[in-house]
Structure 1
Amino acid sequence: MTAEVGLAGRPPCLTLRKRYLVTWTGISIPGERVMAIDLNSNQGKVSGGILLVKLEVALAGGIGQLAKVEGVYSESVKYADGDWFVLVRTDDGKRLGVIGSGGQAKKFAGEGSLKVKLCPLDTANSAALREVFPWTAPVPVGRKVSFGTGDRLGVATPGHLRAFEGCDVFPVLAQQSMREMGRTGRSARDVIDDAGWGVFEAGYTGTFAADADHIKQEEEVLSCHSLGYTMFTIDASDYIKIDAVHLSDEQAVKKFEELTEAGELKSRYLGREWNFAAGGVGVDITFSPVELARCSLVYLQAVKHMAALYEALRSAVGAAGADSAKYFDFEVSVDETETDTTECDHVFVAEELKRRGVVWQSLAPKFTGQFQKGIDYIGEVAEFERQFARHALIARQLGPYKISVHSGSDKFSIFPLVGKYTGGYFHLKTAGTSWLEAVRVISVRNPALYRLMHSFALERFEQDRASYHVTTDLGKIPALETLSDEQLPGLMDEIDPRQLLHITYGSLLSTTDSGGAYLFRDQIYRTLYNYEEDYYEALRAHIGRHVETLGLSRG
Structure 2
Amino acid sequence: MNAKAFGDGVETTMSKGMKLPKFSVGVGDRFAHQAKAQLAACIKAGEFGVEVVPVWNKSNREHMIIGTEPSQTRIAADAAVKELGWTKPYFLDADHINLKTVDRFIAPCDFFTLDVAEEIGKAAKPEDVAAFVQQHPELIGEVTIPHIAEPFKTDAAFVTGVANKFLAAVQDAGRIYRYLVEKKGEGNFVPEVSMDETDSPQTPVELLIILAAIADEKIPIQTIAPKFTGRFNKGVDYVGDVAQFTKEFEEDLAAIAFAIKTYGLPENLKLSVHSGSDKFSIYKAIHEGVKKFNAGVHLKTAGTTWLEELIGLAEAGGTGLDIAKEVYREAYAHSDELRAPYATVIDIDDAKLPKPEVVEGWTSVQFTSALRHDQGNPAYNPSFRQLLHVGFKIAAKMGDRYLNALEANEEVVAKNVTTNLFDRHIRPVFLGQ
Q: Which of 264, 269, 277 is the equivalent residue of 2:146?
A: 277
Q: Does 1:489 align with 2:357?
A: no
Q: Which has the higher contact order (CA 8 A, sep 6+)?
A: 2
Instruction: Point out the structure with the larger helix share.
Output: 2
The whole-number CA distance in structure 2 between the counterparts of 1:141 and 1:412 is: 28
Could you tell me whether the CA contact under 8 Å between 1:274 and 1:285 is conserved in 2? yes
Q: Does 1:315 align with 2:202?
A: no
Structure 2 equivalent of residue 476 of structure 1: 352
TM, length-normalised to structure 1: 0.65
Could you tell me whether the CA contact under 8 Å between 2:303 and 2:421 is conserved in 1? no
The whole-number CA distance in structure 1 between the counterparts of 2:360 and 2:402 is: 22
Equivalences for residues 418-457 of structure 1 within 5 A = 418-423=286-291, 425-430=296-301, 433-445=304-316, 446-457=320-331
- Displacement after TM superposition at 1:141 (Å): 4.2
Which amino acid in the other structure matches residue 426 of structure 1?
Answer: V
Could you tell me whether the CA contact under 8 Å between 2:59 and 2:94 is conserved in 1? yes
Q: Does 1:226 align with 2:128?
A: no
Percent identity of equivalent pairs: 27
The whole-number CA distance in structure 2 between the counterparts of 1:428 and 1:305 is: 24
**Which of structures 1 and 2 has the bigger CA Rg?**
1
Change over 3 Å in CA distance of 1:538–1:449 after alignment to 2:
same
Q: Which of 30, 52, 59 is the equivalent residue of 1:152?
A: 30
Number of equivalent positions:
384
Equivalences for residues 258-297 of structure 1 within 5 A = 259-267=126-134, 268-269=136-137, 271-278=140-147, 281-282=148-149, 284-297=151-164
Could you tell me whether the CA contact under 8 Å between 1:157 and 1:198 is conserved in 2? yes
- Displacement after TM superposition at 1:166 (Å): 4.2
Structure 2 equivalent of residue 209 of structure 1: 91
Provide, for residues 440-490 of structure 1, a one-character-per-residue CA deviation record: whole Å limited to 9, x for no partner: 011122211111111101011112211222211132133315533431111
Could you tell me whether the CA contact under 8 Å between 1:141 and 1:209 is conserved in 2? no
The whole-number CA distance in structure 2 between the counterparts of 1:483 and 1:178 is: 35
SS at the partner of 1:201?
Answer: helix
- Displacement after TM superposition at 1:346 (Å): 0.9
Equivalences for residues 179-258 of structure 1 within 5 A = 179-217=61-99, 220-227=101-108, 229-241=109-121
Structure 1 equivalent of residue 395 of structure 2: 508
Structure 2 equivalent of residue 538 of structure 1: 416
- Displacement after TM superposition at 1:521 (Å): 2.9
The whole-number CA distance in structure 2 between the counterparts of 1:432 and 1:508 is: 18
Change over 3 Å in CA distance of 1:408–1:466 after alignment to 2:
closer
Could you tell me whether the CA contact under 8 Å between 1:442 and 1:524 is conserved in 2? no
Q: Does 1:416 align with 2:416?
A: no
- Displacement after TM superposition at 1:259 (Å): 0.7
TM, length-normalised to structure 2: 0.82
Which amino acid in the other structure matches residue 226 of structure 1?
Answer: A
Could you tell me whether the CA contact under 8 Å between 1:453 and 1:508 is conserved in 2? yes
Change over 3 Å in CA distance of 1:415–1:195 after alignment to 2:
same
- Displacement after TM superposition at 1:497 (Å): 1.2
> Unaligned 5+ residue runs, structure 2?
1-16, 261-266, 373-380
The whole-number CA distance in structure 1 between the counterparts of 2:172 and 2:59 is: 18
Provide, for residues 491-544 of structure 1, a one-character-per-residue CA deviation record: whole Å limited to 9, x for no partner: 11331111010012124313xxxxxxxxx2322211110111112211221100
The whole-number CA distance in structure 1 between the counterparts of 2:84 and 2:155 is: 55
Provide, for residues 233-273 of structure 1, a one-character-per-residue CA deviation record: whole Å limited to 9, x for no partner: 1000111126x7xxxxxxxxxxx8x7113432332246344
Could you tell me whether the CA contact under 8 Å between 1:477 and 1:496 is conserved in 2? yes
Change over 3 Å in CA distance of 1:276–1:144 after alignment to 2:
same
Which amino acid in the other structure matches residue 112 of structure 2?
Answer: F
Instruction: Point out the structure with the larger strand share.
Output: 1
- Displacement after TM superposition at 1:212 (Å): 0.8
The whole-number CA distance in structure 2 between the counterparts of 1:157 and 1:297 is: 42
Could you tell me whether the CA contact under 8 Å between 1:151 and 1:431 is conserved in 2? no
